[in-house]
Amino acid sequence: MSQPLSRTLSIVVLIAVVMQPFKGSVRAAEEADRMTYAQAKARIPQRQLPDFWVGGVQGLADRFERLHRGTARVIAISPGGRPIHLVTYGTKEPLQQKANFNSAIGGRLPSAYMDKGARKKPVVFFVGPVHGHEVEALTGLVNFIEILETGKDLRGRDQMRLRQLGLQCRLLILPAGNPDGIARFEPRSLQGMGHNDLRFWGQGTWSDDMLCGWPHVKRQHPLVGDNVGFLGCYFNDAGINPMHDEFFAPMGPEAPAILRLALEEGPDLAVSLHSHEPVPALLRPAYVPMSVQQDVRMLAERYYALLEERNLPHSSLPQVRAEDSDSPSAFNLTSALYHVSGATPFTFECPHGIQGFCEVTHEQILDIQLTLYEAMLRDELDKKR
Ligand SMILES: [Zn+2]
């Protein structure tokens, strides 16, 4: 072996030795980012979820047909053929509408859209999960409906105080904003499960079983095509994420139905209910006036104080600020709710109870939801007084 060749070989061997652990760790990271449908299913705990927990769409239509005080109707059908129900309480007070909201604002007379101040009751709009795996709000809203009907939640716990607040308002409750996504969510609850379970069921996988993950999953929309593996519960059966539909030229039926309802009802307050890993948080609504953002911040203050009283965790208050040009926020469903109806809109994020993050129990998740509704109703009723 010649001298230069032997030196070259030693260098190659050296590089190979140095690279070995690196290649190993890349492979390990890749494995951690990969999950097949069979693996995801095998990871679902064999357990009995609490009776008060609502983790699927089965039985919802029957439940809504049996209401005594509330009225249920179907406002849209999903691409998968599933009904999207609206449940209402309190009569709609007739108001004259001479202009749509943005024209009224252009005319410097918001009351030309609706003189909301002339209404006796506040109108509050609860938009249940448009992300199918975020069933914490489905549980919350179905329990809320039970409370409005009977005064008790599905645990049998007395909730007369919350019922009294609710019956002083007009309530628009859309328990399931994306029934296709919810129907695809086999675990029915992520409580006690892991970070990658959330990634699999929430955002899904590419065709090579790699987890799509956030924010990459938003970089292809509609999420359809040969490169898609398991379609995450973010999406309806046509691959549309209703939070990011094209609001001026809609691709799916869910977001337009939600916005049409807001436009017709002119809610004072509207929430889009979501879930995430950290503590409960009200998010700053983007592309709305500072005064509207301030309103959300004040609601957060009230809500977080109630959570503290009840030994439940919470985030810090949302900022009030101008839009950012470096890393702009998306104009999402929450922003659109303001621009069609003038409602104070916000996104709420509830903890799933994922291991290693905000490890709340199912009971605590329900309390976090019901406490939010209480804070929202109190806030709007106080404004009317
Ligand atoms: Zn979400």
Ligand 1 mean position, distance from CA 202 (Å): 9
148 within 8 A of 163, measured Cβ to Cβ: yes
Q: Is residue 12 in some structural domain?
A: no
Ligand 1 mean position, distance from CA 274 (Å): 4
Q: What is the DSSP string of 261-321?
A: HHHHH--SEEEEEEEESSS-EEEPPTTS-HHHHHHHHHHHHHHHHHHHHTT----PPPP--
Which residues lie at CB < 5 A from ion ligand 1? Answer: 131, 274
Ligand 1 mean position, distance from CA 30 (Å): 25
Ligand 1 mean position, distance from CA 120 (Å): 33
Ligand 1 mean position, distance from CA 298 (Å): 23
Ligand 1 mean position, distance from CA 249 (Å): 22
Q: Strand pairing partners for 77?
A: 83
pLDDT of residue 2: 42
CA dihedral (379, 372, 215, 56) in degrees, to 10, reads: -130
CA 179 to chain centre: 13
Instruction: Please state the length of the chain.
Output: 385
Per-residue buried b or exposed e for 329-352, using 16+ beta carbons within 10 Å of the residue's own CB: eeebbbbbbbbbbbbbbbbbbbbb
Q: Is residue 246 in some structural domain?
A: yes
279 within 8 A of 351, measured Cβ to Cβ: yes
pLDDT of residue 32: 81
Q: What is the pLDDT of residues 155-179, one digit of tens each?
A: 999 999 999 999 999 999 999 999 9
Ligand 1 mean position, distance from CA 267 (Å): 22
Q: Is residue 140 in some structural domain?
A: yes
Q: What are the residues whose beta carbons fall under 8 Å from the beta carbon of 96, sequence distance 6 or more?
A: 115
Helices marked H in 131-216 — which ranges? 136-150, 160-166, 179-183, 195-203
Ligand 1 mean position, distance from CA 246 (Å): 17
How many distinct structural domains can be found in the chain? Answer: 1
What count of other Cβ atoms lies within 10 Å of the Cβ of residue 184? 21
pLDDT of residue 25: 55
Those residues of the chain that have pLDDT short of 70 are 1-31
pLDDT of residue 1: 42
133 within 8 A of 190, measured Cβ to Cβ: yes
pLDDT of residue 325: 82
Give the residue numbers spanning the domain of 356. 49-384
Taking each helix axis from N to C end, the angle separating 362-384 and 290-309, rounded to the nearest 10 degrees, works out to: 130
pTM of the model: 0.92
Ligand 1 mean position, distance from CA 174 (Å): 15
Q: CA 317 → CA 40, 171, 244, distances in Å?
A: 35, 26, 25
40 within 8 A of 201, measured Cβ to Cβ: yes
The CATH number covering residue 99 comes to 3.40.630.10
Ligand 1 mean position, distance from CA 182 (Å): 12
Q: Is residue 39 in some structural domain?
A: no
Q: What is the pLDDT of residues 372-381, one digit of tens each?
A: 999 999 999 9
pLDDT of residue 30: 57
Ligand 1 mean position, distance from CA 6 (Å): 59
204 within 8 A of 217, measured Cβ to Cβ: yes
